[in-house]
Protein backbone atom coordinates (compact mmCIF):
# COMPACT_ATOMS: atom_id res chain seq x y z
CA UNK A 1 0.00 0.00 0.00
CA UNK A 2 1.15 3.49 -0.67
CA UNK A 3 1.58 4.79 2.82
CA UNK A 4 4.18 4.77 5.51
CA UNK A 5 3.82 2.64 8.60
CA UNK A 6 1.80 4.45 11.16
CA UNK A 7 3.57 5.24 14.35
CA UNK A 8 1.70 6.03 17.49
CA UNK A 9 2.80 9.44 18.61
CA UNK A 10 2.04 11.44 21.68
CA UNK A 11 0.42 14.19 19.67
CA UNK A 12 1.20 16.98 17.26
CA UNK A 13 4.43 18.94 17.35
CA UNK A 14 3.98 22.44 18.68
CA UNK A 15 4.32 23.92 15.19
CA UNK A 16 1.57 21.60 13.92
CA UNK A 17 -1.03 22.76 16.43
CA UNK A 18 -4.07 24.55 15.04
CA UNK A 19 -4.96 27.92 16.54
CA UNK A 20 -7.66 27.86 19.22
CA UNK A 21 -9.78 29.89 16.80
CA UNK A 22 -10.08 26.92 14.39
CA UNK A 23 -13.83 26.60 14.38
CA UNK A 24 -14.66 24.08 11.68
CA UNK A 25 -13.22 21.93 8.96
CA UNK A 26 -14.05 20.75 5.47
CA UNK A 27 -12.63 17.84 3.52
CA UNK A 28 -11.66 16.88 0.02
CA UNK A 29 -10.98 13.29 -1.02
CA UNK A 30 -8.18 12.29 -3.38
CA UNK A 31 -8.98 8.91 -4.84
CA UNK A 32 -6.95 6.69 -7.11
CA UNK A 33 -5.19 3.36 -7.48
CA UNK A 34 -2.08 2.33 -5.59
CA UNK A 35 1.06 4.17 -6.57
CA UNK A 36 -0.80 6.83 -8.51
CA UNK A 37 0.55 9.59 -6.28
CA UNK A 38 -2.27 10.34 -3.81
CA UNK A 39 0.03 10.67 -0.85
CA UNK A 40 2.50 12.67 -2.92
CA UNK A 41 -0.24 15.12 -3.86
CA UNK A 42 -1.52 15.36 -0.29
CA UNK A 43 2.02 15.79 1.04
CA UNK A 44 2.99 18.48 -1.44
CA UNK A 45 0.22 20.87 -0.35
CA UNK A 46 -0.21 19.84 3.29
CA UNK A 47 1.07 22.11 6.06
CA UNK A 48 1.76 19.02 8.17
CA UNK A 49 3.65 15.87 7.27
CA UNK A 50 0.93 13.50 6.01
CA UNK A 51 -0.56 11.40 8.79
CA UNK A 52 -2.17 7.99 8.58
CA UNK A 53 -5.50 6.94 9.99
CA UNK A 54 -6.49 3.31 9.89
CA UNK A 55 -9.73 1.49 9.74
CA UNK A 56 -10.22 -2.17 10.43
CA UNK A 57 -12.54 -4.23 8.34
CA UNK A 58 -13.82 -7.49 9.72
CA UNK A 59 -14.90 -10.13 7.30
CA UNK A 60 -16.98 -12.45 9.46
CA UNK A 61 -18.77 -15.71 8.77
CA UNK A 62 -22.34 -15.23 7.60
CA UNK A 63 -24.76 -14.41 10.40
CA UNK A 64 -22.32 -15.15 13.20
CA UNK A 65 -20.74 -12.26 15.03
CA UNK A 66 -19.32 -13.15 18.41
CA UNK A 67 -16.03 -12.40 20.08
CA UNK A 68 -15.55 -16.13 20.69
CA UNK A 69 -15.43 -16.64 16.97
CA UNK A 70 -12.90 -13.86 16.49
CA UNK A 71 -10.20 -16.28 15.39
CA UNK A 72 -12.35 -17.18 12.39
CA UNK A 73 -12.59 -13.62 11.20
CA UNK A 74 -10.37 -12.05 8.63
CA UNK A 75 -9.05 -8.69 9.72
CA UNK A 76 -8.09 -6.23 7.07
CA UNK A 77 -6.61 -2.90 7.98
CA UNK A 78 -6.83 -0.14 5.46
CA UNK A 79 -4.93 3.07 5.93
CA UNK A 80 -5.64 6.50 4.59
CA UNK A 81 -3.04 9.20 4.43
CA UNK A 82 -4.22 12.70 4.98
CA UNK A 83 -2.94 16.24 5.17
CA UNK A 84 -4.14 19.61 6.30
CA UNK A 85 -4.30 23.17 4.97
CA UNK A 86 -5.35 26.04 7.21
CA UNK A 87 -7.56 28.21 5.01
CA UNK A 88 -7.85 31.02 7.52
CA UNK A 89 -7.90 31.39 11.29
CA UNK A 90 -11.31 29.67 11.50
CA UNK A 91 -11.44 27.20 8.63
CA UNK A 92 -9.32 24.10 8.03
CA UNK A 93 -9.24 21.94 4.91
CA UNK A 94 -8.35 18.26 5.25
CA UNK A 95 -7.25 16.20 2.28
CA UNK A 96 -7.74 12.44 2.42
CA UNK A 97 -6.12 10.01 0.03
CA UNK A 98 -8.10 6.82 -0.35
CA UNK A 99 -7.58 3.76 -2.54
CA UNK A 100 -9.92 3.46 -5.49
CA UNK A 101 -10.24 -0.31 -5.64
CA UNK A 102 -13.77 -1.52 -5.01
CA UNK A 103 -12.77 -3.63 -2.02
CA UNK A 104 -11.92 -0.43 -0.15
CA UNK A 105 -15.19 1.31 -0.81
CA UNK A 106 -16.38 0.53 2.73
CA UNK A 107 -14.15 3.44 3.73
CA UNK A 108 -16.06 5.81 1.52
CA UNK A 109 -19.20 5.91 3.61
CA UNK A 110 -17.91 8.23 6.31
CA UNK A 111 -15.33 9.82 4.08
CA UNK A 112 -17.59 11.30 1.43
CA UNK A 113 -20.30 12.39 3.84
CA UNK A 114 -19.98 16.14 3.92
CA UNK A 115 -16.96 16.20 1.60
CA UNK A 116 -16.74 19.18 -0.74
CA UNK A 117 -15.79 16.93 -3.62
CA UNK A 118 -13.10 14.64 -4.96
CA UNK A 119 -10.01 14.61 -7.11
CA UNK A 120 -9.66 11.41 -9.12
CA UNK A 121 -5.94 11.04 -9.65
CA UNK A 122 -4.99 8.90 -12.61
CA UNK A 123 -1.93 7.36 -14.16
CA UNK A 124 -2.47 7.01 -17.90
CA UNK A 125 -0.59 3.72 -17.89
CA UNK A 126 -3.17 2.19 -15.56
CA UNK A 127 -6.63 3.51 -16.24
CA UNK A 128 -8.45 0.35 -15.06
CA UNK A 129 -9.04 1.46 -11.48
CA UNK A 130 -10.42 4.79 -12.63
CA UNK A 131 -13.42 3.35 -14.45
CA UNK A 132 -15.15 1.95 -11.40
CA UNK A 133 -14.15 4.94 -9.27
CA UNK A 134 -15.69 7.40 -11.72
CA UNK A 135 -18.86 5.31 -11.98
CA UNK A 136 -19.15 5.11 -8.23
CA UNK A 137 -18.67 8.85 -7.70
CA UNK A 138 -21.30 9.59 -10.32
CA UNK A 139 -23.70 7.17 -8.62
CA UNK A 140 -23.12 8.85 -5.28
CA UNK A 141 -23.50 12.32 -6.78
CA UNK A 142 -20.04 13.40 -5.60
CA UNK A 143 -18.65 16.22 -7.76
CA UNK A 144 -15.13 15.51 -8.94
CA UNK A 145 -12.36 16.57 -11.27
CA UNK A 146 -9.92 14.21 -12.96
CA UNK A 147 -6.23 14.97 -12.52
CA UNK A 148 -3.74 13.25 -14.77
CA UNK A 149 -0.55 12.82 -12.80
CA UNK A 150 2.52 13.48 -14.89
CA UNK A 151 4.89 10.57 -14.47
CA UNK A 152 8.23 11.22 -16.10
CA UNK A 153 8.23 7.89 -17.95
CA UNK A 154 4.56 7.88 -18.92
CA UNK A 155 3.59 8.75 -22.48
CA UNK A 156 1.72 12.03 -22.77
CA UNK A 157 -1.72 11.55 -24.29
CA UNK A 158 -3.97 14.38 -25.45
CA UNK A 159 -6.59 15.12 -22.80
CA UNK A 160 -9.42 14.38 -25.19
CA UNK A 161 -8.00 10.93 -25.80
CA UNK A 162 -7.95 10.25 -22.07
CA UNK A 163 -11.44 11.64 -21.67
CA UNK A 164 -12.65 9.35 -24.38
CA UNK A 165 -10.81 6.34 -22.93
CA UNK A 166 -12.41 7.03 -19.54
CA UNK A 167 -15.81 7.64 -21.12
CA UNK A 168 -15.83 10.84 -19.06
CA UNK A 169 -18.69 13.30 -19.60
CA UNK A 170 -17.77 16.69 -21.06
CA UNK A 171 -18.79 18.58 -17.94
CA UNK A 172 -16.16 16.89 -15.74
CA UNK A 173 -13.01 19.05 -15.70
CA UNK A 174 -9.68 17.43 -16.46
CA UNK A 175 -6.33 18.83 -15.42
CA UNK A 176 -2.75 17.75 -15.75
CA UNK A 177 -0.75 17.86 -12.58
CA UNK A 178 2.59 17.02 -11.14
CA UNK A 179 1.71 15.74 -7.69
CA UNK A 180 5.25 16.41 -6.49
CA UNK A 181 4.86 20.14 -7.09
CA UNK A 182 3.09 22.17 -4.47
CA UNK A 183 1.81 24.74 -6.98
CA UNK A 184 0.53 22.05 -9.31
CA UNK A 185 -1.29 20.21 -6.51
CA UNK A 186 -2.72 23.49 -5.30
CA UNK A 187 -3.96 24.28 -8.82
CA UNK A 188 -5.61 20.86 -8.97
CA UNK A 189 -7.52 21.66 -5.79
CA UNK A 190 -8.39 25.08 -7.20
CA UNK A 191 -9.73 23.38 -10.34
CA UNK A 192 -12.06 21.35 -8.12
CA UNK A 193 -13.16 24.46 -6.22
CA UNK A 194 -13.78 26.37 -9.45
CA UNK A 195 -15.85 23.49 -10.74
CA UNK A 196 -17.88 23.36 -7.51
CA UNK A 197 -18.28 27.10 -7.70
CA UNK A 198 -19.60 26.86 -11.26
CA UNK A 199 -22.05 24.15 -10.16
CA UNK A 200 -23.42 26.31 -7.36
CA UNK A 201 -23.70 29.50 -9.37
CA UNK A 202 -24.78 28.21 -12.78
CA UNK A 203 -27.78 26.13 -13.79
CA UNK A 204 -27.01 22.48 -13.26
CA UNK A 205 -25.35 20.94 -16.31
CA UNK A 206 -27.14 18.09 -17.90
CA UNK A 207 -26.19 14.99 -16.01
CA UNK A 208 -27.36 11.51 -16.89
CA UNK B 1 -18.12 0.87 -18.62
CA UNK B 2 -16.36 -1.72 -16.60
CA UNK B 3 -12.88 -2.59 -15.54
CA UNK B 4 -11.16 -5.69 -14.26
CA UNK B 5 -11.56 -4.29 -10.73
CA UNK B 6 -15.29 -4.59 -11.01
CA UNK B 7 -15.60 -7.79 -8.99
CA UNK B 8 -17.92 -7.65 -6.02
CA UNK B 9 -16.82 -8.87 -2.62
CA UNK B 10 -20.07 -9.94 -0.98
CA UNK B 11 -18.53 -10.24 2.48
CA UNK B 12 -17.66 -6.57 2.59
CA UNK B 13 -20.35 -4.34 3.95
CA UNK B 14 -20.49 -0.68 4.81
CA UNK B 15 -19.86 0.45 8.35
CA UNK B 16 -19.28 -2.90 10.01
CA UNK B 17 -17.78 -2.33 13.41
CA UNK B 18 -15.21 -4.64 14.81
CA UNK B 19 -11.56 -5.13 15.33
CA UNK B 20 -8.89 -6.94 17.24
CA UNK B 21 -9.56 -7.74 20.86
CA UNK B 22 -7.36 -4.85 21.93
CA UNK B 23 -9.82 -2.41 20.45
CA UNK B 24 -12.69 -4.22 22.12
CA UNK B 25 -10.98 -3.75 25.48
CA UNK B 26 -10.13 -0.10 24.88
CA UNK B 27 -13.76 0.70 24.23
CA UNK B 28 -14.98 -1.51 27.12
CA UNK B 29 -16.74 -3.80 24.70
CA UNK B 30 -18.85 -1.19 23.02
CA UNK B 31 -18.87 -0.78 19.31
CA UNK B 32 -20.75 2.46 19.55
CA UNK B 33 -21.51 4.89 22.31
CA UNK B 34 -24.76 4.80 24.28
CA UNK B 35 -26.19 8.04 22.93
CA UNK B 36 -25.43 9.22 19.43
CA UNK B 37 -22.64 11.76 19.17
CA UNK B 38 -22.04 12.51 15.53
CA UNK B 39 -18.33 12.71 14.90
CA UNK B 40 -16.87 13.09 11.44
CA UNK B 41 -13.23 12.40 10.55
CA UNK B 42 -12.82 16.19 10.43
CA UNK B 43 -14.80 17.11 13.53
CA UNK B 44 -12.43 19.28 15.57
CA UNK B 45 -11.96 18.25 19.19
CA UNK B 46 -10.79 20.65 21.89
CA UNK B 47 -10.16 19.75 25.54
CA UNK B 48 -12.21 21.45 28.17
CA UNK B 49 -10.90 19.70 31.23
CA UNK B 50 -7.55 18.85 32.68
CA UNK B 51 -6.20 15.43 31.71
CA UNK B 52 -6.28 14.06 35.28
CA UNK B 53 -10.06 14.22 35.28
CA UNK B 54 -10.16 11.39 32.79
CA UNK B 55 -10.40 7.81 33.92
CA UNK B 56 -8.42 5.77 31.44
CA UNK B 57 -5.07 6.31 29.72
CA UNK B 58 -6.56 6.70 26.25
CA UNK B 59 -8.87 9.44 27.49
CA UNK B 60 -5.96 11.19 29.18
CA UNK B 61 -3.89 10.99 26.00
CA UNK B 62 -6.70 12.51 23.97
CA UNK B 63 -7.25 15.34 26.45
CA UNK B 64 -3.51 16.12 26.39
CA UNK B 65 -3.21 16.27 22.62
CA UNK B 66 -6.41 18.26 22.22
CA UNK B 67 -5.20 21.27 24.18
CA UNK B 68 -5.31 22.84 20.71
CA UNK B 69 -8.05 21.84 18.26
CA UNK B 70 -7.38 18.52 16.51
CA UNK B 71 -9.47 16.56 14.03
CA UNK B 72 -10.73 13.05 14.78
CA UNK B 73 -8.49 11.82 11.94
CA UNK B 74 -5.40 13.40 13.52
CA UNK B 75 -6.27 11.94 16.93
CA UNK B 76 -6.63 8.53 15.28
CA UNK B 77 -3.23 8.96 13.61
CA UNK B 78 -1.43 10.09 16.76
CA UNK B 79 -3.07 7.41 18.91
CA UNK B 80 -2.42 4.67 16.36
CA UNK B 81 -6.04 3.56 16.75
CA UNK B 82 -8.71 3.16 14.07
CA UNK B 83 -10.99 6.16 13.67
CA UNK B 84 -14.01 4.06 14.71
CA UNK B 85 -12.33 3.23 18.04
CA UNK B 86 -11.30 6.83 18.62
CA UNK B 87 -14.87 7.90 17.92
CA UNK B 88 -16.16 5.69 20.75
CA UNK B 89 -13.56 7.13 23.14
CA UNK B 90 -14.41 10.65 22.06
CA UNK B 91 -18.12 10.09 22.55
CA UNK B 92 -17.38 9.31 26.23
CA UNK B 93 -15.40 12.52 26.56
CA UNK B 94 -18.10 14.55 24.84
CA UNK B 95 -20.75 13.07 27.17
CA UNK B 96 -18.58 13.77 30.18
CA UNK B 97 -18.15 17.39 29.12
CA UNK B 98 -14.38 16.89 28.90
CA UNK B 99 -14.08 17.96 25.29
CA UNK B 100 -15.84 20.25 22.89
CA UNK B 101 -16.64 18.84 19.44
CA UNK B 102 -16.70 21.42 16.65
CA UNK B 103 -18.74 20.00 13.78
CA UNK B 104 -17.52 20.30 10.18
CA UNK B 105 -19.02 22.92 7.94
CA UNK B 106 -22.24 21.32 6.75
CA UNK B 107 -22.12 20.58 3.03
CA UNK B 108 -25.35 19.73 1.28
CA UNK B 109 -25.42 18.33 -2.23
CA UNK B 110 -23.32 21.32 -3.21
CA UNK B 111 -21.23 23.48 -0.91
CA UNK B 112 -22.03 27.07 -0.11
CA UNK B 113 -20.57 29.67 -2.49
CA UNK B 114 -19.06 31.73 0.31
CA UNK B 115 -17.38 28.65 1.72
CA UNK B 116 -15.90 27.81 -1.69
CA UNK B 117 -14.67 31.35 -2.15
CA UNK B 118 -13.00 31.23 1.26
CA UNK B 119 -11.27 27.96 0.37
CA UNK B 120 -10.14 29.30 -3.02
CA UNK B 121 -8.80 32.43 -1.38
CA UNK B 122 -6.89 30.30 1.13
CA UNK B 123 -5.46 28.00 -1.55
CA UNK B 124 -4.27 30.90 -3.71
CA UNK B 125 -2.14 32.06 -0.80
CA UNK B 126 -0.23 28.78 -0.74
Stretch B18-47: mean pLDDT: 72
Number of folded domains in chain A?
1
Whether A50 maps to a domain, the answer reads: yes
Contact A91 B119 (CB under 8 A): yes
Chain A touched by B111 (CB under 8 Å) = yes
According to the model, what pLDDT value does residue B61 have?
A: 93
What lies within 8 Å, CB to CB, of B6 at 6+ separation is: A102, A131, A132
The CA distances from residue B66 to A16, A202, B50, B99, in Å, are: 12, 41, 11, 8
Mean pLDDT of chain B: 79
Determine the residue among A11, A46, A145 to mutate to test chain B binding: the one whose Cβ has the most chain B Cβ atoms within 10 Å: A11
This prediction has a pTM of 0.82
Residue with more model confidence, B1 or A109: A109
**A102 CB within 8 Å of a chain B CB:** yes
pLDDT of residue B34: 56
Q: C-alpha angle A45/A112/B119, rounded to 5°?
A: 40
Q: In which region does residue A200 sit, left (phi positive, over 0), alpha (psi from -120 to 50) or beta (all else)?
A: alpha
Cβ-defined contact of B19 to A143 (cutoff 8 Å): no
Write phi, then psi, for A51 (nearest 5 degrees): -105, 170
pLDDT of residue B11: 35
A34 within some domain: yes
CA–CA separation, B64 and A163 (whole Å): 49
**Res B1 pLDDT > 80:** no
A167·B68 Cβ contact <8 A: no
How far is it, in rounded angstroms, from Cα A150 to Cα A147? 9
User: Each residue's pLDDT tens digit in chain A (208 positions)?
Assistant: 333 444 444 789 999 999 999 999 999 999 998 889 999 999 999 999 999 998 877 665 444 444 444 455 667 778 999 999 999 999 999 999 999 888 888 888 889 999 999 999 999 888 888 999 999 999 999 999 999 998 888 888 999 999 999 999 999 999 999 999 999 999 999 999 999 999 998 765 555 5
Residues in contact with B31: Cβ distance below 8 Å, sequence separation at least 6, in sequence order? B17, B18, B84, B88
Contacts of B57 (CB under 8 A, 6+ apart): none
**Predicted pLDDT of residue A151:** 85
ipTM value for the complex = 0.83
| Residue A2 covered by a domain | no
> Does B62 lie at the interface with A, CB-CB under 8 angstroms?
no
Q: Looking at the domain assignment, is residue A186 inside a domain?
A: yes
pLDDT at A63: 44
8 A C-beta contact, residue B72 and residue B86: yes
Q: Do A84 and B71 touch (CB under 8 A)?
A: yes
Spatial CA neighbour of B88 closest among B76, B100, B97, B80: B76
- What digits encode the pLDDT tens for the residues B56-101? 889 999 999 999 999 999 999 999 999 999 999 999 999 989 999 9
CATH number assigned to the domain comprising residue A117: 3.40.50.300
pLDDT value of position A160: 95
| Any domain includes A60 | yes
Residue A30 maps to a domain = yes
In 3-state terms, what secondary structure has residue B20?
A: coil
Q: What pLDDT is stored for residue A13 in this prediction?
A: 92
Predicted pLDDT of residue B31: 59
Strand-pair partners of A24: A91
Residues spanned by the domain of A128: 18-201
What's residue B114's pLDDT? 95
- Residue B21 is predicted with a pLDDT of 58
Query: Would A10 be classed as within a structural domain?
Result: no
Of how many residues is chain B composed?
Answer: 126
Residues 58-97 of A with CB under 8 A from B: 58-60, 65, 67, 70, 73, 75, 77, 82, 84-88, 91-94, 96
Q: Is residue A12 part of a domain?
A: no
Yes or no, beta carbons of A92 and B80 under 8 Å apart = no
Amino acid sequence: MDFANSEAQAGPQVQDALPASARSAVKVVVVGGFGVGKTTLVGSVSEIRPLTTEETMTQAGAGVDSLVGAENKTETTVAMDFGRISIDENLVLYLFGTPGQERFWFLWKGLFEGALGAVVLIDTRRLEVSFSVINRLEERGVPFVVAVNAFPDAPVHPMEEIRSALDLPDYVPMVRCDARERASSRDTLLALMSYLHSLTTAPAPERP
Amino acid sequence: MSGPDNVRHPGWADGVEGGPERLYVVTAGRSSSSAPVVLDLVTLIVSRGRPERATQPEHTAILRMCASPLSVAEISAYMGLPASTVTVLLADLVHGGHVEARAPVPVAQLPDVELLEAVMHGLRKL
